[in-house]
Amino acid sequence: MAKVYREIQGGWARGFRFVLLASMVMMMLAVSACGSGGNSAGSSAGEADKAEAAGSGNSAKTSVPSVLNYGFIGANKLNLPGGAEGWGFYKGIIQEELKKHGITEVKLTSFPNGPDQTESLISGRLDFGSLGDTPAIIAYAGGAKTRLIGQGSAHTVGYIIGKKDGPKTVKDLQGKTIATQKGSFMHRYLVGLLKQEGVTDYKLVHMLIPDATAALARGDIDATTNTGVQAVKQISDGYPALDDASKHPDLLGSSVTVVSEDYLAKFPDFPKIWNEAREKALADLKQHQDEYYKFLAEIGNTTPDIVKQVSPIEDLKDTAFTDDGLSLLEGTKNFLVEEKLAKKDFNISDWQLK
């Protein structure tokens, strides 16, 4: 009996050890499987997280801000510029093109002159803008981080208007007081003309056109610079036109479009998209010329006949850059550097973004 008990006890012990060993093996396999499965899942999740983060980073780098801030010169009741740009905004052509690239709103801001606009561009209030070449060049030479992406016109005419019963010729400005918007294309035209005419003794005062017009009427100044519809109006009111830049092709102004480098970092393809939208607007404008001149007349608070005279459609460039436009820009830049109105010299090609 004892022998049987010992055999049973021994068998039970062997069976228990076998079961225990098998259980331990199964547990180890299960733990190993869980560990392997856990590491694999963790690795997959980690890779997925990394991929998502990388994708998110790429998206952030290339995402286009939905709001575009654009500046232009000249306040008016429509809050729109002239030219193909203004027509494009007026008809919704440009907005439609920009929406294809994620821009759902364009905020337009007018400025009295180029220097004020460049300050807003430098400070980041604007993403890009259209303005006279002289303030844009002066700003870039002074360190503004902008790129030139277009030259919409290369035939901006400045005028020198004298006071009534005052100077009759440019040479008569010797020793006189002349108002201009310092840093504008008219400033460049005035200084360049006086140099060509040998007028060296004069006093320049900075005034915006409305203030200068009033000062001229009071006789506080001897002459002022002006442009466009406002100049034609002064002449029709009996003020003598001493000169205009159409007689001096090298002193004509041009309209340029510049964009901040910060915005380009967010939307590298913007210059191409913008110029294509502008060209589309220009093509439409040419199909509706009478309507366009009425649009300009409303902006300038004048008549279509006058805007045809001062802003003919033929002056609008149908490509971003032309050889004659760039040549004029080079001459303007050289003059500003020579006169120390621009802080340093530079290559237009380095500024230009093709």
Q: Does domain 158-250 have CATH number 3.40.190.10?
A: yes
Interval 301-310 mean pLDDT: 95
* Two structure tokens written together for 346: 């530079």
Burial of 187 (0-12, 13-18, 19+ CB in 10 A): buried
pLDDT in tens, 100-132: 999 999 999 999 999 999 999 999 999 999 999
pLDDT attached to residue 354 = 84
Retrieve residue 239's tokens: 């003020």
Locate the domains of the chain by residue range: 67-156+252-351, 158-250
State yes or no: pLDDT of 139 exceeds 80. Answer: yes
Q: Which of 15-24, 132-141, 176-185, 282-291 is predicted with the least confidence, judged by mean pLDDT?
A: 15-24
pLDDT for 18: 38
What does the pLDDT read at residue 62?
Answer: 57
Whether the pTM exceeds 0.85: the reply is: no
Question: What is the pLDDT, as a whole number, of residue 296?
Answer: 97
Q: Which residues, in sequence order, are CB contacts of 66 under 8 Å at separation 6+? A: 102, 103, 104, 105
CATH of domain 67-156+252-351: 3.40.190.10
* Identical topology for domains 67-156+252-351 and 158-250: yes
Q: Calculate ∠ Cα 204-207-208, nearest 5°.
A: 145
Say which range, 35-44, 83-92, 197-206, has the weakest mean pLDDT. 35-44
Residue 89 has pLDDT above 90, yes or no: yes
pLDDT per residue over 22-74, tens digit each?
Answer: 444 334 333 333 343 333 333 333 333 333 333 333 333 458 999 999 999 99
Round the average pLDDT of the chain to a whole number and report it.
86
